[in-house]
Amino acid sequence: MLKVNELESLYSDVEYFEKLAKPIATPFLNAILSIRFFPEYDEYVEKHTSKGSLLDIGCGNGEFAEKMLLRGWSVQCIEKSIVAAKRAEKRIGIGKIKVGEVTEVDLKSSFDVITAWHVLEHVPNPSEFVHKIGLWLKPKGKFIFELPNADSINLWLFRQYYSWLMVPEHIFYYSPQSIAKLLDLAGLHVVEFSFPTRAILNFSLSVRKIVAQKIGTFVANILFIVSLPLSLLEALLASLTGRSEVVRVVASKN
């Protein structure tokens, strides 16, 4: 595991965010990835709560925060990366973003909703993190977040060859059971687990990864293309059985 100062160096790297901003595949594959069988984050939040005050942790470039502002929410953000925070300010305005770690930021406000999209797996001190969430939420407030699913069928199948095994960025992987135990430490209880069909090409990407290392890239690329229909089918079945690539969580303050 990287030390905290090494993680800070990683997230302050401009190239890290440039890489995230680039298209991840060909136009054909991006068209497949754009198919949605589940609500987008903004729709999902409003499905579970009324408009009010929202804190988005790990706001990145501010895309989600901007959508919520346009929907009429009062929005504040926390972002550990100065690079990302500056980009987010261009979307949502100056004065709405606190730069730093959640465990170090001091907020006077309390919120109806706190969101954290693919953040918790990056946090080195999760118990302190959720404790802060509990302090900042209003009574009956909602903590809504998404993260990789440790119960993913692809992680179980491919193990060290799993395409979404991201080291050092992902520090911990959580199952629904471990999420519930962690939230309980902060006085939060799970209202809903859902299992969206995100990262629908992970099966094919994992096949390509293992074959490339054991046989070669030419065969790996052929098998990647051939396995695409199976990858889509696997993603749908995994979603129905709680073994999808991600788990989305709605938790409420007790």
Task: Kindly report, residue by residue over 61-101, the tens digit of the pLDDT.
Answer: 999 999 999 999 999 999 999 999 999 999 999 999 999 99
pLDDT at site 13:
53
Q: Are 22 and 194 in contact (CB under 8 A)?
A: no
Task: Kindly report, residue by residue over 32-64, the tens digit of the pLDDT.
Answer: 555 666 889 999 999 999 999 999 999 999 999
With 80 as the cut, is the pLDDT of residue 25 above it? no
What would the mean pLDDT of 147-158 be, rounded to a whole number? Answer: 96
What would the mean pLDDT of 196-218 be, rounded to a whole number? Answer: 94
Question: 4-23+38-150+165-199+243-253: what CATH class?
Answer: alpha beta
pLDDT, the chain, mean: 89
What would the mean pLDDT of 102-115 be, rounded to a whole number? Answer: 93
pLDDT at site 7:
53
pLDDT at site 38:
81
For residues 15 and 11, what is the distance between their CA atoms, to the nearest angstrom?
9
With 70 as the cut, is the pLDDT of residue 23 above it? no
pLDDT at site 6:
55
